[in-house]
Chain A
């Protein structure tokens, strides 16, 4: 298995632009999580899905952030409009129901908003 695949690995964008981050979970995993990592706040859970349905989006910082999972093999996290304080590493992770809760993480997308 190729693991959790995220794209792009790096994104540099100007303030006000729309940014879309992509994730392909491991086949057969029915949970998908989006995390944001910064030096100040560590790893924050933004949203998670079960069977493509958003379960908890209480970690999404503002209405500028939205996430979708149109099918079991693809999810997007969109920021519109982006701001410099959104600069962070965004991780996607997946896991399988019945497993011991452990997640498999992607390599992350490093977002820089200038």
Chain B
């Protein structure tokens, strides 16, 4: 099955850019998602990218996909304290399901 790896923790200062990285193993993944989880809440879909794209920009968010290396990254520009949360990478596995990484906890300090 699919394996998804993320670094567990990232700390940045307010106003800096944050880059959260993810590697996955299933080269047939066609949709790759980023979810955000705030304390005590469910997972909220942030953005996604199709596997035929290299990059997708959505306001402060930029997703980069290196399909050859099976590497996905999420860049958050001008990071704010409200961006502090856990971020999950989730490529699709087969037709119906997503496989989630363990999540990267982003801590933004003022």
Contacts and interface: CB of A to CB of B under 8 A. Distances in A.
Residue from A31, A42, A43, A50 with most neighbouring chain B CB atoms (10 Å):
A43
The size bracket of the interface on B is 20 to 34
B62 interface: no
A86 to B, nearest CB: 19
A31 B35 CA distance: 18
Contact of A100 (B41, B48, B101): B48
A90 to B, nearest CB: 11
Contacts of B43: 43, 91, 93, 103, 105
Contacts, number: 47
The size bracket of the interface on A is 20 to 34
B101 A42 contact: yes
Contact of B97 (A33, A100, A105, A108): A33
A105 to B, nearest CB: 4
B42 A102 contact: no
A50 B42 contact: no
Contact of B96 (A4, A55, A106): A55
Q: Is the interface of A mostly helix, strand, loop or mixed?
A: strand
A48 B97 contact: yes
B30 to A, nearest CB: 8
B22 to A, nearest CB: 13
Interface string B2-42: 00000000000000000000000000000101010000011
Interface of A: 4, 31, 33, 35, 42-43, 45, 48, 50, 55-56, 91, 93, 100-108
